[in-house]
Structure 1
Amino acid sequence: MNDFSKQQDSVSSVLKVFGILQALGDEHEIGVTELSQRVMMSKSTVYRFLQTMKSLGYVQQEGENDKYSLTLKLFDLGAKALQHVDLIKIADQQMRLLSKATQETIHLGSMEEESIVYLHKIDSLYNLRMYSRIGRRNPLYCTAIGKVLLAWLDEQAIRDILAPVAFERKTAHTLPDIDALLAELATVRETGFSEDREEQEVGVRCVAVPVYDRFGYVMAGLSISFPTIRFDEQQLAHYVTMLHQAAANISQQLGLARYPYPAI
């Protein structure tokens, strides 16, 4: 089978899966025979796809009657997507205010498995700027946003998340191992902000603070990134204050009663 034929088969399989999911969504429960008629596939093909979706947790079998129905796993995925849409929409205004005040690159990121993913970005107004893009993944251990996302988890959860990760020394400043990271995360919890001190890229620093959902859990990190040549340590406190105020505004619009840093 050539590559083109394999690609066609893959597309066909995806279309079949979504056809089955759509049909399941139209009924509370449905048997294989009726489902195969609805989607115009053989019973054996429908059964094979159902068993795979069942093993992945998207479909359940209703008791002894051989009928199938959707689980809430798809709802959970949709809820997460909507949460990010709401977050980005709310964060955009605050990020633009930060951009106007600092003229530096502003990022919003969340955790996905053992990485951060950039959800939104406002580019620096300077010609010299940090390279990044929405959707790009970066390690948790050497980024300011990553440290913020990890800091309020318990130690075992952090170790579990980073178990498959090799601590690559991207620069001479990169933290060497998880124990060094855990020590720094204790400081992040105490101060309420994190830093990337040229740990991801030489010549680039970053400061980040947490964004909370309505239940008080850290759901994202908000950061300012800048080249070291445009920064001195006296700016740090000012950047942290602005970030906390922006993150507090975002978190409160997401339903948080009170942002937990009284110094803002």
Structure 2
Amino acid sequence: MAASQKPDNVAAVMKVFAILEGLAAQPSIGLSELSQRSLTSKSTAYRFLQTMKELGYVSQEEESEKYALTFKLFELGGAALEHVELIPLANVEMRKLSEQTHEAIHLGALDEDSQHIVYLHKYDSQFNLCMNSRVGRRSPVYSTSMGKTLLAWMDDNRAQEILAKTHFIARTRYTLTSAQQVLDELPGIRQEGVAEDREEAELGVRCLSVPVFDRFGQAIAALSLSFPVVRYEEQKRDEYMALLFDAGKRISSGLGFYDYPFSRS
């Protein structure tokens, strides 16, 4: 299909990326040269550039009025690369957990809105009775063990800000339905190292979760172990925690963080 035949929204996206590629070709560039490089009219290029400036992806020099890329694209790329590195590392440990427990194992991280967890990787339970999940699925932070984990390991003000914007829905009769209820759990999670979902997201399913840290000591993901309540054994909780701590520690070490705060002891 010729460019002129493409839907307007597709053509617009292609022009935006052409402009970004033009900006990436040199440290700074004027509007006329950029419009020529990107095969875009000056008026269109200017309109897109103003939007990119507002979003923080482009800066403009006051005297020369030339445009340049900011580090925001680098930040996005770095976050993506971090997850690409994270998943192969986590896969090794998740496979071990799957072999040890035969239960469902999940790796999750905050979505762009920080109010949801997105499932990055998983190992299904080896039993017929198991929870339903899929990679790419999003679930609310307040009703998942992984969400609580990442809330617990972020700055308190940031956690309060996220929960203040959250629309709480009682997914089950056990779901926490207020910001304060969630906030009240976070100190205990930080102290023990494990967050729990006690049938809060799905009736009949319990989950335990621990943090995964990057080289800067930031909790960038969470690792969880999920059970149908009929197979969850409370007397084995310490054993489950120890397995999760070992896995979380090894994944974090692979990312360059060697001071994991929890262990089998």
Give the TM-score normalised by the residue count of structure 1: 0.95
CA distance in 2 between partners of 1:39 and 1:82 (Å): 27
CA distance in 1 between partners of 2:39 and 2:182 (Å): 54
Equivalent residue, structure 2, for 1:21: 20
CA distance in 1 between partners of 2:62 and 2:179 (Å): 46
CA distance in 2 between partners of 1:161 and 1:22 (Å): 34
Identity across the alignment (%): 52
Alignment of 1:77-92 (within 5 A): 77-92=76-91
Equivalent residue, structure 1, for 2:249: 248
Cα offsets for 1:3-61 (capped at 9, x unmatched): xx9x8111000000000101111111111111111122211111111111111111111
CA distance in 1 between partners of 2:263 and 2:34 (Å): 57
Equivalent residue, structure 1, for 2:105: 106
Task: List structure 1 segments (4+ residues) > 6 angstroms apart after TM superposition.
Answer: none
Equivalent residue, structure 2, for 1:34: 33
What SS does structure 1 have at the residue aligned with 2:211?
strand
Amino acid at match of 2:90: A
Higher alpha-carbon deviation: 106-115 or 93-102: 106-115
Amino acid at match of 2:60: Q
Amino acid at match of 1:254: L
Tell whether 2:257 aligns with 1:260.
no
Equivalent residue, structure 1, for 2:132: 131
CA-based RMSD: 1.6
Q: By how many angstroms is 1:263 displaced?
A: 3.7
Amino acid at match of 1:186: P
- Whether contact under 8 Å (2:154, 2:219) holds in the other structure is no
What SS does structure 1 have at the residue aligned with 2:73?
helix
Tell whether 2:32 aligns with 1:48.
no
- Whether contact under 8 Å (2:107, 2:120) holds in the other structure is yes
Equivalent residue, structure 2, for 1:59: 58
CA distance in 2 between partners of 1:120 and 1:167 (Å): 26
What SS does structure 2 have at the residue aligned with 1:259?
coil
Q: By how many angstroms is 1:176 displaced?
A: 2.6
Amino acid at match of 1:110: A
Equivalent residue, structure 2, for 1:140: 141
What SS does structure 2 have at the residue aligned with 1:230?
coil
Equivalent residue, structure 2, for 1:173: 174
Q: Which runs of 5+ in 1 are unaligned?
A: none
Higher alpha-carbon deviation: 151-160 or 116-125: 151-160
CA distance in 2 between partners of 1:14 and 1:81 (Å): 20
Give the TM-score normalised by the residue count of structure 2: 0.94
Equivalent residue, structure 2, for 1:149: 150
Equivalent residue, structure 2, for 1:72: 71
Cα offsets for 1:160-199 (capped at 9, x unmatched): 0112212211111111312111121121111110110000
Q: By how many angstroms is 1:262 displaced?
A: 4.2
CA distance in 1 between partners of 2:200 and 2:223 (Å): 18
What SS does structure 1 have at the residue aligned with 2:209?
strand
Amino acid at match of 1:216: G
CA distance in 2 between partners of 1:25 and 1:186 (Å): 45
- Whether contact under 8 Å (2:245, 2:263) holds in the other structure is no
Equivalent residue, structure 2, for 1:9: 8
Q: By how many angstroms is 1:239 displaced?
A: 0.8
CA distance in 1 between partners of 2:41 and 2:199 (Å): 58
What SS does structure 1 have at the residue aligned with 2:261?
coil
Cα offsets for 1:55-104 (capped at 9, x unmatched): 11111112311211111110110000000111111100000000011111
Amino acid at match of 1:240: M
